Amino acid sequence: MRVTTPVARRGLDPAAVRAHFPALERLHDGRPVAYLDGPGGTQVPRATIDAIAAHLAAGDANTHGAFAASEETDALIADAHAAMADFLGAHDPAEIVFGPNMTTLTLAVSRALGRDLRPGDEIVVTRLDHDANVAPWLAVAEDRGATVRWVDVNEEDGTLDLDGLGSLLGPATRLVAVGLASNAIGTINDVGRVTELAHAAGALVYVDAVHAAPHLPINVADLHVDFLACSPYKFFGPHLGALYGRREHLERLAAYRVRPAGDRLPGKWETGTQPHELLAGLLGTFTYLASLGRAYGLAGHDADRRTSLRAAMVAIRQYERGLIGPLLGALAAVPGLRVRGIADPGRVDERVPTVAFTIDDHRPRAVAEHLASRGISVWDGDYYAVELVRRLGLAETGGMVRIGLVHYNTLEEAERLVEALDELVTLSSA
């Protein structure tokens, strides 16, 4: 999916956005903490926190009981599925499955799909993906004697070698597992093209949209994917995983489940008791996002949730596009710093504002520690993009430093980051 220039009614107002997030008030040495660690998990708006507290305060109950609190839980679960379907552009809430996180959901689907795999079947994975969309497929291929084929990464700009994908696909291909955006270097992958090629070969497509979800509007119907997984805690919600699966697949595949779950969707795939309070929190997140869509996006004030959520993500994308160019430009001026992935400020349409880099003679952990001492939170290492970091030859040297901007981050924070990096480099060369 190439994200073309989206249109919002007016630009997001960062001060108004930030006022929704209590955690952004946290101070370090008297200055606000700069949370540039969003790819590891984002902060949540007050609407999310309030919804969790309100659910618990009202009195929680398990499902399908004869009394009011239980009926309320049933309604809450149904609404959470409908809202998630709105967010992902799915038409049927029964095609949404919740779980503890994306990894657990992907392991469940991989095991179920694995039941149909035979020796000689093939699965395609990429060297750009987070291990949660690689390791489950490697394991199931090993169990069933299937062959794994790898889509490589173009080293100089961190894009997927999709020209090579055609030659990897054939009548034996059963599944292609691909990410929508890289959690390490921010590349947006052309999942539409992957899906077209995979479907032409008769294979299914499993998309990891965990990193795309806080940045881009997602529409599973437009993308024609078979499965798409994401994690609400990466897009301003509580710690949950969510999966979209085409009804025909969710119905046909044999899930690992307990007997009372039956064959009905989505319960067939949702093992055990759901975290009701977190589903309430997720609805709070969607209330917040929908309000952004109405305030800044093209959704009118009476627009429905689906339209408002899409409008919000378009407005967010537009705001974030404005952060990428200046960030890349400023990083390029730091002596010895090398951005891994798309470094050209003119190619904003091909990436989200997640930028990984190395600095000559500085271990990534030491850079992250220096930034932490200045109140700037960033990640270092491989962030489970194991194959990519190996492919870039950085596994033995501590990986990369990763800056992850989301819509509550500002250009001022990016400037503060670059100042702190300059300071580090200057101090060490003095």
> Contact residues for ligand PLP (CB under 6 A)?
39, 101-103, 130, 132, 179, 183, 208, 210-211, 231, 241, 384
Q: How far is the CB of 231 from ligand PLP (least distance, A)?
A: 3
Q: How far is the CB of 112 from ligand PLP (least distance, A)?
A: 17
Whole-angstrom Cα distance, residue 11 to residue 17?
Answer: 11
| Residue 267, both tokens | 């319960």
CB-wise, 214 or 375, nearer to ligand PLP?
A: 214
Q: How far is the CB of 190 from ligand PLP (least distance, A)?
A: 16
Query: From CA 150, how far away is CA 176, in angstroms rounded?
Result: 10
CB of 104 vs ligand PLP, minimal distance in Å: 7
Between residues 99 and 398, which has the closer beta carbon with respect to ligand PLP?
A: 99
Instruction: Write down the least CB distance from residue 125 to ligand PLP, Å.
Output: 13
CB nearer ligand PLP, residue 8 or residue 394: 394
Nearer to ligand PLP, 295 or 405 (CB): 405
For ligand PLP, the closer of residues 98 and 296 by Cβ is: 98
CB of 12 to ligand PLP, least distance (A): 23
Nearer to ligand PLP, 280 or 388 (CB): 388
